[in-house]
Amino acid sequence: MAWDWQSRDKIDNAFRAVDITIEWLQRLVERLNGGLASAAMERLSPVLFPPTQLQAVVTEIKNNLPTGWALTPAAQTGNMWKSYQEATVTAAWIENGIRLFIHIPIFEFTMTLTLYRVISLARASTNGSTSLQYTGLPQYLATSPDQQTFIELSAEMIGPCRSAKQAICPISRAVSQKNNKGACSVAIFLADNHRIEENCAVVVTPWTGQDAVYLGHRRWGLSATNVTRLVVTCPHHATGPNSYTIDTPAISIFEIPMSCTAQSDDWIFQASFRKDTHRKWITRTAPQLADLKIPGRPLFTTPDEIQHPDQTDRSKLPRHHLQELTAGMIHQMDGLSDLEHMRLNTELEVS
């Protein structure tokens, strides 16, 4: 009897071990299926390429890079999960299987450019009847760290660069080393009033009311005729008072606390629970500007005459001299690659 019981225990243990092995193999197959599915979408999966293995490969690449080249900032700091997001996979069929080619981005850091999104808001005149706005501005502006090289770009040119997961992406456009500072957008970026007067064109249109634009991460740009009072309301669990007011100038950038709602007589700024992930927020402020003074003979253009930047013919734009005509303009440069924001309050003079 004792032998029979021992034999049964051994047989049960053997079948139990087989069941565990089969279950482990099933889980492995499921994970491999998920990893291959990710590879089919050009994404790198930790199942196929574990973090320790990826770290070893990244370290080897880093040690063999030529002078002037580097890995992405995330890879340099050892952020493996960000490295998985940045890596891409290409699959190739070989005999009896497939071969995966993993692309880990590197870049020439001496030739890097920071990408900014350009947002232009019109400025109202003192009496609120007309507005002025720069025209011919690009949708995006790329600039070198030393601010000596600039490239104007459209949304179609940058393509996937707008993705928050894309820390580095190539720009398929040649860079002019001589004529990259003659654009209006560059003059505004550098706050060069002399170049602004020479290179920038302005359109005058009837004022159609306040304008607001979302800048990302609970920050808004607002253009009004005068001071705007905002009532900010927060839920009970939020820190600080449940309701308070903010007075914003005619041209302003303001930030709404997380989960709070702001409301004015004209606008409702909805609550957002998105946490701010920007590394830094840079505000560049020009000297205070004088009020707009409308000339004796009013100048008007219709809104239909405001052309898209890539359709603008500078030779046909109105360039009348308006005595003592100045306006504060706001140009929010939404940095993508280094997540910097810049606010430029610039003087506007039509000549």
Tell me which residue has tokens 């920050």: 219
Q: Per-residue pLDDT averaged across 216-220, rounded?
A: 83
The pLDDT tens digits for 250-303 are 888 888 888 888 999 888 888 877 665 544 444 443 333 333 333 333 333 444
Residue 347 pLDDT exceeds 50: no
State the pLDDT confidence band at 105, using cuts at 50, 70 and 90.
Answer: confident
The answer, yes or no, to whether residue 244 has pLDDT greater than 50, is yes
**Chain centroid to CA 292:** 32
Do 141 and 189 form a contact (C-beta atoms < 8 A)?
yes
What count of other Cβ atoms lies within 10 Å of the Cβ of residue 78? Answer: 11
What pLDDT, on a 0 to 100 scale, did the predictor assign at position 285?
A: 37
CA 321 to each of CA 87, 303, 324: distance values in angstroms, whole numbers, following the listed order: 54, 20, 9
| Cα–Cα distance for residue pair 228/246, rounded to 1 Å | 8
Query: What integer pLDDT is reported at residue 34 of this predicted model?
Result: 63
Residues composing the chain:
351
Confidence of residue 229 (pLDDT cuts 50, 70, 90): very high
Looking at per-residue pLDDT, the higher value among 75 and 239 belongs to 75
Give the Cα separation of 234 and 262 in Å (integer). 9
**Residue 217 pLDDT grade (very low, low, confident, very high; cuts 50, 70, 90):** confident
Segment 142-168, tens digit of pLDDT: 888 888 888 888 888 887 676 666 667
d(C-alpha 312, C-alpha 201), whole Å: 10
Q: What is the pLDDT of residues 6-43, one digit of tens each?
A: 677 777 777 778 778 877 777 766 766 666 666 666 77
Residue 220 predicted with pLDDT over 80: yes
pLDDT at residue 72 greater than cutoff 50:
yes
- Residue 302: per-residue pLDDT: 40
| Residue 202 token pair | 């302005």
pLDDT for the residue numbered 350: 29
Per-residue DSSP letters for 43-73?
Answer: B--TTTS-HHHHHHHHHHHHHTPPTTEEE-H
Cβ(137)–Cβ(317) below 8 Å: no
If you average pLDDT over residues 210-230, what whole number do you get?
A: 87
**21-25, 211-215, 234-238, 317-321: the lowest-pLDDT one:** 317-321
Mean pLDDT of the 69-84 span: 81
Sketch the domain layout of the chain as residue ranges: 2-109, 112-347
Question: How many whole angstroms separate alpha carbon 102 and alpha carbon 61?
Answer: 12
Model pLDDT, residue 348 = 29
Question: Pairing relation of β-strands 211-216 and 219-223?
Answer: antiparallel
Rg, the chain, Cα only: 29
